[in-house]
Structure 1
Amino acid sequence: AVCSKADENALYLQYADAHVCIGPAEASESYLNIPSIISAAEITDIEAIHPGYGFLAEDSHFAEVCESSNIVFVGPSSGVMKKMGDKIQARKIAIENKIRVIPGSDSTIENQQHALKVAHELGYPVLIKASFGGGGRGMRVAHNDISLVNSLAIAQREAKAAFKDPSIYIEKYIEPSRHIEVQIVADKYGNMVHLGERDCTIQRRHQKLLEE
């Protein structure tokens, strides 16, 4: 396991066979620090890295570095992640394959004027979302022009801090709605199985509290 200075006494470390501190409390200097994580892997002579969730879990560059270092990345290949990790590109791929998506911008938001134009076309409320990453970071609901303008910079700062990329896009915010997921597990040999549906609707600040 790895940890930052701030998490050296965290409960999860008690269940690990060994752990390595990879940097200070700031995520950009620890959990997003690819050289430090790879160094920790090489020092402990591990064969695979499970990225967990958030941070580098959906970072195609990190998966690519693992591959080039002969370390198994427990997750999709870097090629797949490049396509799916960028939500705007993922939306385009879905549309090309005739999969319905929520109405939204077809590119990253360039500035306030662009954001307002998209929001007016979609109609309020809208959801500002980080183009990369997940876990509820870089997400803000806007119900009017004022809240949209105020939320843009906040969402961009959150996205940059969590994923090192401030890119955002806008989708129509649907309410009421339910958050349903279908989990899929596959290996490099072509074996694949789905784990059924999970209702993840109960959330706080766009982060799941309960999955059932």
Structure 2
Amino acid sequence: MKLVIFDVDGTLVDSQAHIVLSMAAAFEAVGLPVPDRDAILSIVGLSLPLAVRELARNADDATLGHMVDAYKDAFHTHRLAQGAAASPLYPGAEEAVRRLGTRDDLYLAIATGKSRRGLTALLESWDFADLFVTTQSADDHPSKPHPSMVMSCLVDTGVDASEAVVIGDTTYDMEMARAARCKSIGVSWGYHGREALIEAGAATVLDDFGQLEGALETIWKD
């Protein structure tokens, strides 16, 4: 059996507006200047406490704690107001997952920097969520690029690292895969650039989901 592990934000769903709004609320809650959009999106993929710390390096621990809480509150409020529209699937994402889900030679999994609450809410809006046999979130693991989430996926499925591929949009995903001794595939529509993904270890970078199965077959043939 083989294993395909998907990142979520920037890979399966376009949540940038939701993330930028919530991070702005976090900074405003403690009276700090809001970072620009590019800076905020550059930390997508890290777990929330680490992402906030990266953006507010001079803040003390108490302030960072308030920011994390404010982010969570804003994110939750926006999600309740917008529903699935807050994090729409990228074109072709559902179709690609469903195609892979019909195969009897592989498992599908998720490894995301989202909280478990956020991931659960998202999965509840997908009628194909049961195709993922294991889902790992930031609540239960060190932040990417630590390999813990990938290692749990491997244990849960019994698949060897050499037969697993991580699909993601950030260098954190590629580095996580490499740390777990897995291959990785980048996507060009997310938050880090093509060159950065290749430098971080991506075997290839997709321009659309229609290229995914071909890229997987190439990796597994090598």
| Structure 1 and Structure 2 fold alike (TM over 0.5) | no
* TM-score (normalised: structure 1): 0.29
Is the radius of gyration larger for structure 1 or structure 2?
1
